[in-house]
Amino acid sequence: MSKGTVGGGGTTMLRRINVAAVLDAVRRSAPAPLRVAELVERTGLARPTVAQAVDELLDAGWLQQHGPDSADRSLGRPAIRVSLRGRAAPVLGLDVGPHRVTVGVSDLAGRKLSLVRRSGPGWTAQQLLGVISEVITEALAEAEVPAEDVAAAVAASPGIVDEHTGRVQLVPSVPGWSAIDLIKHVRGLLDCPVMLDNDANLAALAIAAARGGTGTLLAVQWGERLGAGIVIDGRLHRGTGAAGEIGFIATAPDDVINPEDSRGPLERAVGSEAIAALGRQAALDHPESRLAELGGEQLDTADVFAAAAERDPVAQAVVQRVARDFARALAPAVLVLDPTAVVIGGGVARAGAVLLDAISDQLRLLTLNHPKLELSALAEDAVVTGAMRMALDEVWQRKLPTPALTSTT
């Protein structure tokens, strides 16, 4: 309950509003530098007001001054241009998976300063904490950012995340992981606000930011597990904390969910392991097929899609079945949510057009407003990028206080 200062205040508040307006205008045109005259136009403020705000922001280190653009051949005295000083408040994103830890450091303008990835074969929870510390240190060193400068950090974990306690439920892949307080651990390294969120949510945030604009996005992460994030007009939808858990959608008419299971029905039906299993069975049934030829003994998911891309009817049948199960499961959610776009990422997304077209055909039969169906352009960086994005949002939300009328009941 933020007491007092709910809205309005004295002239100092007004000044803060105007400084924030100027900073926000610079942020929106990042990374392009802006002239003061442009700031005057965009904020609607008077020149002295803008100038004073710019001075203040320069002193505080939020803005940096550029020399006149030599390419700009306009008449008259060349304008001073300012842009965000990225190093003012770098942020850190952390993607923790059972076999891989990724850390990204980004500056205030959203430019990546470093990205460090480390893979390993199934760490324990304790080992994972050690790896996290190492990779964070390495990424900060590569970005040349002292640990104490980091303004915010966001960690991504699979499973269902409790926003408040920072604990994770439902993580089968790493034994003991749900007992770890990851936020506390990271805060011990960084001394800044640290947040934790679901990996699918953060990937969705990154994809939404990359697509830009408003609207509703349903971003599916499709690998061994299935999860989805929902972004509505740039804001993440979390529900009560477990929104987007599409892996647990029932597929067979008498499926029943057991929250204790490591996999949900849809994951068992169309997760990457299931696809590989379907492919192996099909190869056994049709040893003469291109699929059997391609896959051999250790046929995996990629082989199925490769064979289907070569028009092998056996593989195509498998893809058809997967696409159908997936579309049938997702259609009710698409009808209810009516998203602008559905983006598919994760390992299975590497299948490409073969799978996408099949899903699109099925989904078209089951929905009213057909959303755009796309593959994620961000590939495996989506989660870290989203984590950095959320950390950035956090920093901006703290720096740009919307002063009026925002308090909730």
Residues contributing to the site for DNA (CB under 7 A):
1-3, 8-12, 14-15, 18-19, 35-37, 45-49, 51-53, 68, 73-80
21 binds, among DNA, a second copy, none (CB under 5 to 8 A by kind): a second copy
Out of 316, 340, 360, 385, which residue is the one contacting a second copy (CB under 8 A)? 340
78 binds, among DNA, a second copy, none (CB under 5 to 8 A by kind): DNA
CA–CA–CA angle 140, 145, 149 (5° rounding): 115
Of 78 and 287, nearer to DNA (C-beta) is 78
Out of 161, 249, 274, 359, which residue is the one contacting a second copy (CB under 8 A)? 249
36 binds, among DNA, a second copy, none (CB under 5 to 8 A by kind): DNA
Which residues in the 37-76 window bind a second copy by CB under 8 A? 42-46, 49
Are residues 54 and 39 in contact, defined by beta-carbon separation less than 8 angstroms?
yes
By the rule CB under 8 A, 256 interacts with a second copy: yes
Euclidean distance between CA atoms 125 and 45, whole angstroms: 54
Which residues in the 291-330 window bind a second copy by CB under 8 A? 328-330
Site string for a second copy, 144-183 (x = CB under 8 A): ----------------x-----------------------
By the rule CB under 8 A, 257 interacts with a second copy: yes
Q: Closest approach of Cβ 236 to a second copy, in Å? A: 11
Binding segment for a second copy among 78-86, 107-115, 188-196, 247-255 (CB under 8 A)? Answer: 247-255
Euclidean distance between CA atoms 164 and 17, whole angstroms: 30
Of 280 and 389, nearer to a second copy (C-beta) is 389
**Could you tell me the CA-to-CA distances from 339 to 51, 191, 210, 381 in Å, in that order?**
43, 38, 16, 23
Q: Could you tell me whether strands 216-222 and 341-345 are parallel, antiparallel, or unpaired per DSSP bridges?
A: parallel
